[in-house]
A and B are shown apart, each in its own frame.
Chain A
Amino acid sequence: MAFDWHRRLEANAVVFFILSFLAITVGGAVLLIPPYFLAGTIEPVAGLEPYSALEQEGRDIYVREGCNTCHSQQVRPFKSETDRYGTYSRAGEGIYDRPFLWGSRRTGPDLARVGGKYPDSWHWLHFQNPRDIEPRSNMPTFSFLSEHEVDLSTASRKLDVLRTLGAPYSDDEVSGAEAAARAQAAEVAASLRAAGVILDDQQAQSETIALIAYLQTLGRAVAAAPPKQVQLAPAAAPGAAAAAGEEGR
């Protein structure tokens, strides 16, 4: 092979780096743009609603504390995962998730289906000290969250920005975000008190409350609208199915 042409290219910096730039744009263009336009890429999840003001605050606290560095929110379609966590993750669940929080390392368990798995009081005690609930846990203690009152000063603004990006909030939801968040926090606090957790007034409006409200949403819509069951073959005895699998696939 003669590479003299390349020697000439090496002498022309402008052309060289224009070609380099073209080489590095192709892959991104092919991978990133079509998913926005190909039908069926994101199948809507029926009944999925955007986060309430308090849940969004809780989600932002989840991001702030870097919960995603240790917890994934992405259940893979394996039996061992769906048995452990619940239904596998679907693209349609994430249309209000900015940013996505799928994670990359499971130092702790996946949380995509944690909503409703434990009562609010379990989460409260677990954040106060994870080792009170599980002595072998290596999760940091997040008791400091219960000492910080949740900051709702930008709650309206946040919903407004999210609405600009596509979340279907009504004008009332945006303007009444702070009041709605306080009301929802009072509900969570009431459920904690009913379970015997002793809260002072500050703790009842704390960041832990918002975080619990967020965690309890995870997987909620999917639980209400499970994926369609695909019928692979008529029901048969397990042995027959295995034999068919061996020769058929």
Chain B
Amino acid sequence: MTSAQPEPVYNMDVVRGFALSALIWGVVGMSVGLVIALQLAWPELNIGPYFHFGRLRPVHTNVVIFGFTLGVVFAGSYYGVQRLCRARLPSDLLARLHLWLWNVGLVLAGLSLITGHTSSKEYAELEWPLDIVIVVIWVIYAVNFFGTVIKRRERGLYAAIWFWGATILTIAMLYIANNLALPVSLLKSYSIYAGMHDANIQWWYGHNAVGFVLTTPILGLMYYFLPRQVDRPIFSHRLSILHFWSLIFIYIWAGPHHLLFSPLPDWAQSVGMAFSIMLLLPSWGGMLNGLLTLRGAWARVRTDPILKMFVVGLTFYGMSTFEGPMMAIKTVNALSHFTNWTVGHVHSGALGWVALTCFATLYYLVPRLWHTPLWSQRLAETHFWVATLGILLYVTPMWISGVTQGLMWRATNPDGSLTYTFIETVAAIRVYDILRAMGGVVFLSGVLLMFWNVIQTIRKGSASIPAGASPHAAPLPAAGG
């Protein structure tokens, strides 16, 4: 605050901003998720034109993906890239623009979705003016990130930077290509692709939104913050190399597993299925590289909630990247597609892997950003257990629900006629919808605990560096292997 403070070496304002905004969007987005889960069981909760399932579902997905997850990714990558490159972001102005444009854009996104302005394409719902805003922000992020890389005072690039950099390039390509549309008016446009081609490009985008928003940048967080927290080098540099290149190459091919048994050409479906199965190996390479980094330090997991979150997060990553390839096999997909199994699969990755890793990152960052120990270590520990219980309560009913509905849809009587009407399958899974919502309540209450913990930490801390403290963090241990 005062001129007596040393000039900070790194731009931490933008990191603080994104850490806080991500936390707020997390609470908002997951609350909307809970509302739409309840709406499935109690349709009276759908209110008027603005607050029914059809309009709120994209609000939930957009806010948790772009507000919460990418918020943590921006915070973590800005924090990490400056330290790994020993260089400050090239432009404080661009960093501030990034923070404010992104958050204003998210508010506009929420309002536009509630008022029904949507392209309908999943995770790419926003209409063309907001698409342009997002592309501009993405360019700003790219300039700041790669600008730091270019002016680095460190020779080599560490694995976290590979993953974050690949994320920036890939999302730019996917987002622009999938959103190309011809405007009718300021708030309405038509996709330049039609029918099958539109489906093909949408799921090339949609699957790689999972790959390059919910996977590679989160791996970047894991590669940076897990070794830091455990104070050990990453298990294997070679494994990082192998799984980085194979992961980013293979991911792009897997989109057609969303379109099995559709009018997409059969060869494309088979290619998509084959690459989805291959994806298991690089995914598990990442999981193992993370888990084995803890070799010799497992005792610390018992007492450290941040490490617990990383470990369980990586375990869920391994589980959902086993489940995903399995669901991409045509015979399994014939049962699972269009059911709650898919929704459960997404959430075991999104809550188990993405959210837990993001929580761990926030718990690591907040005390360092506000220069004071976390307000309550015990509350963070409680959060871990509550979150894990919430995930299990969410995912288990969804598996049962999905398989139940899939089996009921295909059940036939001895004479070959269908056994169940559609509405009987809706009624059969209602109990699981209620259980899933309860899982959501538990998970969300954990997020509220974290929110309270972080606010209390910030209240007793200070954004400026205390006099006498070194602004430099300890250097990252060299990679082994």
Contact = CB atoms under 8 A, between A and B. Distances in A.
Interface of A: 1, 3, 6-7, 10-11, 13, 16-17, 20-21, 23-28, 30-32, 35-36, 38, 41-42, 60, 63-70, 72, 74, 76-81, 83-84, 89-91, 93-109, 130-131, 134, 136-142, 144, 154, 157-158, 161-162, 164-166
A104 B258 contact: yes
A160 to B, nearest CB: 9
B202 A64 contact: no
Given A3-B238, A102-B262, A161-B190, A140 B46 contact: yes
Task: Name the 9 nearest CB pairs between A and B, nearest first.
Answer: A94-B195, A66-B54, A27-B252, A140-B46, A27-B253, A91-B263, A64-B116, A76-B261, A140-B52
A69 B182 contact: no
B319 interface: no
A30 B149 CA distance: 31
A68 to B, nearest CB: 5
Nearest to A6: B241
B158 to A, nearest CB: 8
Contacts of A161: 182-184, 190
B418 A90 contact: no
Given A66-B54, A91-B263, A106 B46 contact: no
Interface string B87-100: 00000000000000
B54 A100 contact: no
A191 B268 CA distance: 44
Interface of B: 39-41, 43, 46, 48-49, 52-55, 57-58, 116-122, 146, 149-150, 152, 155-158, 162, 165-166, 169-170, 173, 177, 182-185, 188, 190-202, 204, 237-238, 241, 245, 248-256, 258-259, 261-265, 268, 271-272, 275, 334, 337-340, 342-343, 405, 409-412, 416-418, 422-423, 426-427, 430
User: Which of A35, A97, A98 has most chain B Cβ within 10 Å?
Assistant: A98
A82 to B, nearest CB: 11
Given A13-B157, A16-B157, A69-B57, A89 B263 contact: yes
A1 B169 CA distance: 29
Contacts of A141: 43, 46
Contacts of A11: 155-157
Given A1-B238, A20-B169, A100-B198, A13 B54 contact: no
A31 B46 contact: no
Contacts, number: 247
B423 A136 contact: yes
B182 A164 contact: yes
Contacts of B122: 104
B256 A31 contact: yes
A107 B43 contact: no
A28 B252 contact: yes
Contact of A36 (B162, B195, B197, B255): B197
Contacts of A97: 194-195, 198
A94 B262 CA distance: 12
Contacts of B343: 105
B84 to A, nearest CB: 11
B58 to A, nearest CB: 7
A91 B190 contact: no
A80 B418 contact: yes
A96 B193 CA distance: 9
Given A7-B156, A27-B275, A80-B410, A162 B53 contact: no
A63 B200 CA distance: 19
Nearest to B152: A13
A188 B405 CA distance: 35
Nearest to B195: A94
A131 B197 CA distance: 37
User: Which of A21, A26, A130 has most chain B Cβ within 10 Å?
Assistant: A21
A37 to B, nearest CB: 11
A144 B255 contact: no
B412 A165 contact: no
Contact of B146 (A17, A24, A137): A17
User: Which of A66, A68, A139, A142 has most chain B Cβ within 10 Å?
Assistant: A66
B40 A136 contact: no
Nearest to A17: B165
Contacts of A64: 116-118
Contacts of A77: 261
Contacts of B165: 16-17, 20
